[in-house]
Amino acid sequence: MNESIAFGVDDLTLMWRVLGAWVRISDRTDPGGALGTYIREFRAVQYKPLLMAVPKHALPMRLHDNFGWIVGSPLPREGLSVIPVATVSVGPLVGDRVSECAIRVALLRDRADLTVEAEGWRFESGEQPVDGQLTPPAHPYCHVQAITGWDRDPSCLLHPTHEEGAECDGLDPTDVQGVDGERKRAASATLVRHPAFPLSASTLTGMALNVVAALYGVSAVLDLLQVEAVLQRVDGEVRRDLERLVASI
Amino acid sequence: MSEVPVVVICDDDDQRVGEWGDRVDEVLDGAMSVVALDPEQFAKAVAALKLRKMRGKAAPEAAQPDDADVFDEAAVVLLDSDLTPDPESPGWRSPEELIRTHLAGSMGGDVAHLVRTLTGAGAVGVINQYWKTRTFDLTMTKVAHEVADVYISEEDLDSPRLWGVEGDAGYKPWSWPRLICLPDLISAAADACNLDDPVLQSLDLSDSEILDRFYDPQLEVLGLDISPECTFRAAANSDELGLQRKEQTTEPILKRVAVSVVRRWLERLVLPSQNILIDMPHLMQHNPWLVPDRSNLSAWNASTEWWYGVDAVPSIATDAWNPAASALLGRNVWNVAQLPPAPTRDRVLASDPVFCEDSSTFVELSDATDFSSDIAGPFSQRFIQRVSGVEYSPRRRLVL
């Protein structure tokens, strides 16, 4: 019987291929406005296109290492420019398996005050049992849930700009009575642990494909496959994850 | 009178150019005759080209024969890149004399430009410009804006697969033309060329659906971003690929320049990106359901439809086939915008092979290595077979 590749180094490499292909098919058109300014600054100062050529020997990375960002094509919204950005965290190897992995996605859009606001989600691997804890983990499967925090540094795109190293949650923490205050209260009702929506993925590669499918739909997954001939030729568990998304096409 | 086409080989080293000539002569086996110009003949021919340039005239309208006639009569001209003799070479003399009698201090690429723009030569190649040993360019863009039709190392000179004659498998970058066919292809295109015809319309690439797919840099090279009506005459005078400012040539040679410019633009800046045109091997790789006997690897490599003119009309996706661009490139190509959609639920399978750019061969995925080229657009990922004896540069591209 073939050994599972799920969460192994081969699976991790295929996940990078998904994310690298997402970068390749993404439209780099400047969205203009405050959002365009942020994106331009981000590209000029921070963007490391590591996902296009990350050395194999550098994998897997430590959890919370900064890989640089992915800037995706704008989402199709009428009269509104919404740009998804993403980062990836990969946990250490335990045996020959990646212990945990998370792909954080934020949707950036302009506000009327020429600043940018963001909503965030975290696509992540199943939670692991904690030693000594009797209750099983709530989400032992790949899932996605909304996030309020985005504790990446030294800086990020999320509004408002903040001190280097300070937590940024995409909301203005000083805005108790205004727009962000209300947004923060509303967000708190659904965060941080529930709901966590199960993903149709049993592999890291499948999880990354779910990110693309969630943002753009299945046509983007097919576009992505067109430019990644290795992914087109996957078999086994990764193929099953892929087919769950594109089976009807 | 049936004449055997002539290959003219030029170098600054008398002994070496003779050796190169012998090797090419052997591989062509009489299909073409080979002339190896000694350094002084070569220098005289280039001096004649410079005179033509200064007089603003090219050979067919020149009153008197000159030493550059050898290029006019050549089907293929191959030029060494570094034309300064080595101090150890048998023909070494004082630098002052070598500059006077030879081409010391000159570069083959510059001579290639003169040959292309001032003579009726067929194909033009440059030897050893980037590498002296057999090396595959993993960027796949290094010669994108260069003037010659082919760039090779001296080790490639007698490769049967460079010339398109019978030979064993092995190294053959897909970007190489079939050199033995290229002179006739250029001549036929030049004969049919109306310099005042718009390029895109002539190549069946002027539909708005196709125009929208071009990347800006692809259009900018020929000024098509400003004027989609760019003619062959304008293309021949394009700054990057054609005549330089103030250069003039005769109408028949201008047609050859135009054909060469548009051909190089198509082959190096348009076709690789696969946003406008796609050739047979890449079409097969992306659409394996088009391959008859798909499960048989030999069938993938046995198609006779990779090159233009072997069969009358390719048997697949005929509605999207572009005969005008195919004839100019010498390889069959299809308009991407007009390709039929993939049949429902047809998938690329793990068993489908991939096309290797260094050997022009389909192999199983497990026998190939993928790399990230510098080709514009999302189709930058390509495969190589890692042929023995070949260097791959830059090597870092092979890390992933």
Count how many Cα atoms sit within 13 Å of the Cα of residue B32 in the half-sphere of its side chain: 31
Q: What is the pLDDT of residues B348-361, one digit of tens each?
A: 999 999 999 999 99
Mind listing the pLDDT tens digit for each residue in A71-113? 888 887 777 788 888 888 888 788 888 888 989 888 887 766 6
Using the beta-carbon criterion (under 8 Å), do A56 and B350 form an inter-chain contact?
Answer: no
Strand B76-80, strand B6-10: pairing: parallel
Is the pLDDT score of A54 beyond 50? no
Q: Per-residue pLDDT tens for A182-236?
A: 666 766 666 656 788 999 999 999 999 999 999 999 999 999 999 999 999 999 9
Tell me which of A35-39, B4-8, B127-131, B132-136 is least confident.
A35-39
B234, B254 contact by CB (below 8 A): no
| Cβ-nearest to A229 among B347, B381, B397 | B381
Contact A232 B352 (CB under 8 A): yes
- pLDDT at residue B55, rounded to an integer: 81
B382–chain A nearest CA distance, Å: 8
Dist. CA B285–CA B322, nearest whole Å: 19
Residue of A nearest to B351 (CA): A233
For residue B345, list chain A residues with Cβ-Cβ distance below 8 A. Answer: 249
pLDDT range class, residue B95, cuts 50, 70, 90? low
Integer Cα distance of B318 and B315 in angstroms: 6
Every domain range in chain B assigned CATH 3.40.50.2300: 6-173
Residue showing tokens 């046509």: A219
Mention every residue, 6+ apart, whose C-beta is less than 8 A from residue B190.
B252, B255, B256, B258, B259
Which ipTM value was assigned to this complex? 0.82
Q: How many CB atoms lie within 10 A of CB A197?
A: 14
B85 burial via Cβ count (<10 Å: 0-12, 13-18, 19+): buried
Phi, psi angles (nearest 5°) of residue B34? -120, 130
Q: Which of A18, A88, A16, A94 is nearest to A57 (CA)?
A: A16
DSSP characters over B11-58: -S-HHHHHHHHHHHHHHHTTSSEEEEE-HHHHHHHHHHHHHHHHHT--
User: In this structure, are residues B379 and B140 in contact, taking their beta carbons and an 8 Å threshold?
Assistant: no
* pLDDT tens digits, B207-252: 999 999 999 999 999 988 878 889 999 999 998 899 988 888 899 9
How far apart (Å, rounded) are the C-alpha atoms in residues A21 and A53? 11
Q: What is the mean pLDDT of residues B310-329?
A: 91
Q: Is the pLDDT of residue A45 over 60?
A: no
Q: Distance (Å, rounded) from C-alpha B19 to C-alpha B364?
A: 38
User: Does the beta-carbon distance from B399 to A56 stay under 8 Å?
Assistant: yes
- Residue A110 bridge partners (DSSP): A116
Whether pLDDT at A162 is above 50: no
**What phi-psi label fits residue B334: left (phi over 0), alpha (psi between -120 and 50 degrees) or beta?**
beta
Q: Which of B150, B272, B255, B268 is nearest to B199 (CA)?
A: B255
A219 touches chain B (CB under 8 A): no
Closest partner CB to A53 (pick from B349, B383, B400): B400
Q: Which among A85-94, A161-170, A178-187, B83-92 has the top mean pLDDT?
A: A85-94
Contact map slice: A 27-86 vs B, CB within 8 A: 52-57
Task: Say what the pTM is.
Answer: 0.87
Alpha carbons A82 and A73: distance in angstroms, whole number: 9
Q: Which residues pair with B321 in a beta bridge?
A: B334
Q: Which residues is A121 bridged to in the sheet?
A: A105, A146
Chain B nearest-CA distance from A142, in A, is 25
pLDDT in the model for residue B229? 87
- Sorted by sequence, the CB contacts under 8 Å of residue A217 that are 6+ apart come out as none
Q: Does A238 touch chain B (CB under 8 A)?
A: no
Measured CA to CA in angstroms, residue B287 lies from A217, A245, B45, B71 at distances of: 22, 20, 50, 44
The band of A24, judged by pLDDT with boundaries at 50, 70 and 90, is: confident
Q: Are residues A123 and A102 in contact, defined by beta-carbon separation less than 8 angstroms?
A: yes
pLDDT digits (tens, 9 = 90+) for B244-295: 888 888 999 999 999 999 999 999 999 999 999 999 999 999 999 999 899 9
Dist CA A87 CA A64 (whole Å):
10
DSSP single-letter state for residue B105: T
* pLDDT tens for each residue of B151-204: 999 999 999 999 988 776 789 999 999 999 999 999 999 999 999 999 999 999
Q: Which of A27, A228, A232 to mutate to test binding with chain B, by most B CBs within 10 Å of its CB? A: A232
How confident is the model over B305-323, as a mean pLDDT?
A: 88
Q: Which of B352, B380, B381 sits opposite A233 (nearest CB)?
A: B352
Closest chain A residue to the Cα of B396, Cα to Cα? A55
Among the partner residues A25, A52, A232, nearest to B348 by beta-carbon distance: A232
- Amino acid residing at B228: P
Look at B349 and A233 and tell me if their CB atoms are within 8 Å: yes
Average pLDDT rounded to a whole number, residues B115-140:
95
Instruction: Find the mean pLDDT for residues B90-109.
Output: 69
Domain spans of chain A, in order of start: 9-246
- Rounded CA-CA distance B132/B88 in Å is 18
Mean pLDDT value across residues B44-60: 80
The predicted structure's pLDDT at residue A176: 63
Q: Do B400 and A230 touch (CB under 8 A)?
A: no
CB proximity A6 to B under 8 Å: no
Structure token pair of residue B267: 């082959």
Question: Among the CATH numbers 3.40.190.10, 3.40.50.300, 3.40.50.11540, 3.40.50.2300, which is that of B6-173?
Answer: 3.40.50.2300
Distance from CA of B322 to the nearest CA of A (A): 22
**Does the distance separating the beta carbons of B354 and A229 come in below 8 Å?**
yes
Q: Is A226 on the interface with B (CB under 8 A)?
A: yes
Task: List, in order, residues 6 or more apart from B208 with CB less than 8 Å away.
Answer: none
